[in-house]
Amino acid sequence: MATEEQESVTTRRLRFSFEFFPPKSEDMADQLWKTVEALSLWTPDFVSVTYGAGGTTREPTLSTVKRLISETALPTASHLTCVGATKDEVRQVVEQFRSVGVKHFVALRGDPQGGMGSAYQPYPGGYSNAAELVAGLREMGGFEISVSAYPEKHPESPDVAADIDMLKRKVDNGACRALTQFFFDNDVFERYLERVRAAGISVPIVPGIMPIQNLTQLKRFASMCGATIPGFLDDRFAGLDDQPKARAEVAAAVAAEQIEDLARRGISDFHLYTMNRSALVTATLGNLGLRPRALADDGAGAAA
């Protein structure tokens, strides 16, 4: 039974979106589609599929997106990057995705071709950044466009002000929402949101929530993308290396607590990084006192 605090969260009518990545093997494909089946019960606002910089996962992404659109009722967005491609090549990719039913792109510059940490160089004849890519998508017409945002700033931005200026350029060029990099300190997000609003950016800034599958791996990834892992997470996971069940319970509790606190601060939309696994996402939403809308007797307290 949900607690009184949980009831206050569920009545806020929270909305969720889920992120997947294209599988690299048959076993990973089986895992993905089991995850899609399980999470579709939550009837998310949309799901998104990542796209490797320079089109390194173009075909797997296209195949995954096509199957999601043709075999499920899930509103499906494809990520799109502009690294290592001319404007004409990007347009060809966009039209290919449009032909299978894509109407929503998550427009990203993408990591440098040399990998994270290497210097970024605009591709000759291509889009220089995500703001230009958004403008190009708007000119092509007919697309919903989401972009990225960084509560702790993008690692390549000189400062937060420059980072927010880039976000404003993306929004001014046609983006209707921003999905954030994962973070774990809600005070950091709230301060960032205040600065974003002060800059005249009014689109939804959707927190990216990362249920922690593996804290050690997450720390390595966070060090490359400029995200901070607070010390309290070490405390919460201490002594659980050989206890997978207890570790999963803590991970779901941490993610649910973060969402619950953000909901109390007025946030109603959340983007969950699933890592192509459903168990932690389902446990997180369950900890909030939510039920899959597809299984609920009525709409009260259902996740959207």
Identify the burial level of 175 via C-beta atoms within 10 angstroms of its C-beta, where 0-12 means exposed, 13-18 middle and 19 or more buried.
buried
What does the block give as tokens for 106?
A: 């998550």
- Position 77 scores a pLDDT of 98
User: Which residue, 187, 240, 191, is CA-closest to 212?
Assistant: 240
Q: Any residues with CB less than 8 A from the CB of 288 and at least 6 apart, and which? A: 2, 6, 9, 10, 14, 256, 259, 260, 303
Residue 276's region, left for phi above 0, alpha for psi from -120 to 50, else beta, is left
Q: What DSSP string runs through 70-128?
A: HH----EEEEEE-TT--HHHHHHHHHHHHHTT--EEEEE----TT-TTSPP-PPTTS-S
pLDDT the model gives residue 123: 83
User: What is residue 293's predicted lDDT score, i.e. its pLDDT?
Assistant: 73
Active site residue 26: no
Q: How many domains does the chain have?
A: 1
Q: What is the residue range of 212's domain?
A: 4-303
User: What local confidence, expressed as pLDDT, does residue 6 receive?
Assistant: 47
Rounded distance, CA 159 to CA 152, Å? 10
- CA pair distance 97, 92, nearest whole angstrom: 9
pLDDT, tens digit (0-9, with 9 covering 90-100), for 69-106? 999 999 999 999 998 889 999 999 999 999 999 999 99
Note the pTM of the prediction, 2 decimals: 0.91
Residue with tokens 């599958």: 213
Residue of 4, 19, 37, 249 with catalytic role: 19
Distance CA 126, CA 71 (A): 34
Whole-angstrom distance, CA of residue 288 vs CA of residue 52: 33
Distance CA 209, CA 106 (A): 17
Question: Could you give the count of Cα atoms lying within 13 Å of 148 in the half-sphere of its Cβ?
Answer: 22
Q: What is the pLDDT of residue 297?
A: 45
Output the pLDDT for position 121.
Answer: 73
Integer Cα distance of 139 and 226 in angstroms: 32
**Beta partners for residue 20, in sequence order:** 49
**Maximum Cα interatomic distance, the chain, rounded to a whole number of Å:** 58
Contacts of 197 (CB under 8 A, 6+ apart): none
Q: Which CATH number covers residue 197?
A: 3.20.20.220
| Helices of type H across 177-304 | 186-198, 215-225, 231-237, 244-264, 279-287
Q: Name the helix (H) or strand (E) containing 227.
A: none
Stretches in the chain below the pLDDT threshold 70: 1-12, 53-55, 112-120, 294-304
